Amino acid sequence: MNSFEVSVPAIGIPFVARGLRALIAGIKIAAARAPCQHAPMGKPELDTMEHCACSSVSVTARGRVLSMLVCSCLDCRKATGTGHSGIAIMRREDVKISGKTRHFDRLADSGAWICRHFCPVCGTPVFATTTRSPTLVLLPVGLFDNPNWFAPTQAIFSRTHLHWDTLPEGIPQYQNYRPQ
């Protein structure tokens, strides 16, 4: 249940004190059941199950998001069908995948292999792994129904960024990867 499902019924109640109380109660419930809480350092804590567009594949994410970024590399542009992807990075042990995925491997400029998994039925990108950081998993933010917690702190592969594509303001942009 998300915040909209909780609060919408209350909006139909006539605007009297009782209705207002119901609306406030709905907002409180929505806040309590939000799929994440912002932790110190701006890294959200997730506890949520998400699905690909056809629901053949489920992703359960429980734990801290370690990093959030946007990427304008050619592969992300092809995977999303637009100018950049939004990516949340978590520990592998905090993410469980149910259902079959297909994948393909690409050799990145860094020399690392990137393995991109997608739903074989609907084609939704589901997750990716990289030999650059083998303990981590990359989750496409478009997979989440309600990713209000997403706040990217860097933009990578700006060398292939498209001028018409809007990126978040005020975050550092790197030609390739952020230097490690």
119 lines the binding site for Zn ion (CB under 5 A): yes
User: How big, in percent rounded to 5, are the helix, strand and coil portions of the chain?
Assistant: 25, 35, 40
Q: Which stretch binds Zn ion (CB under 5 A): 7-15, 66-74, 158-166, 171-179?
A: 66-74
Other CB atoms closer than 10 Å to residue 45's CB: what's the count?
16
Q: Alpha helix (H) ranges present in the chain? A: 3-11, 17-32, 74-80
Q: Which stretch binds Zn ion (CB under 5 A): 6-14, 55-63, 88-96, 138-146?
A: 55-63
54 lines the binding site for Zn ion (CB under 5 A): yes
122 lines the binding site for Zn ion (CB under 5 A): yes
Residues 150-179 close enough to bind Zn ion by CB under 5 A: none
Min dist. Cβ of residue 174 to Zn ion (A): 12
Min dist. Cβ of residue 166 to Zn ion (A): 17
Please list, in sequence order, all residues whose beta carbon lies within 8 angstroms of the beta carbon of residue 55, skipping any fewer than 6 positions away: none
Residue 83 CA to its chain's centroid (Å): 16
73 lines the binding site for Zn ion (CB under 5 A): yes
- How far is Cα 166 from Cα 38, in angstroms, rounded to an integer? 25
126 lines the binding site for Zn ion (CB under 5 A): no
Contact positions vs Zn ion (CB under 5 A): 52, 54, 56, 71, 73, 76, 119, 121-122
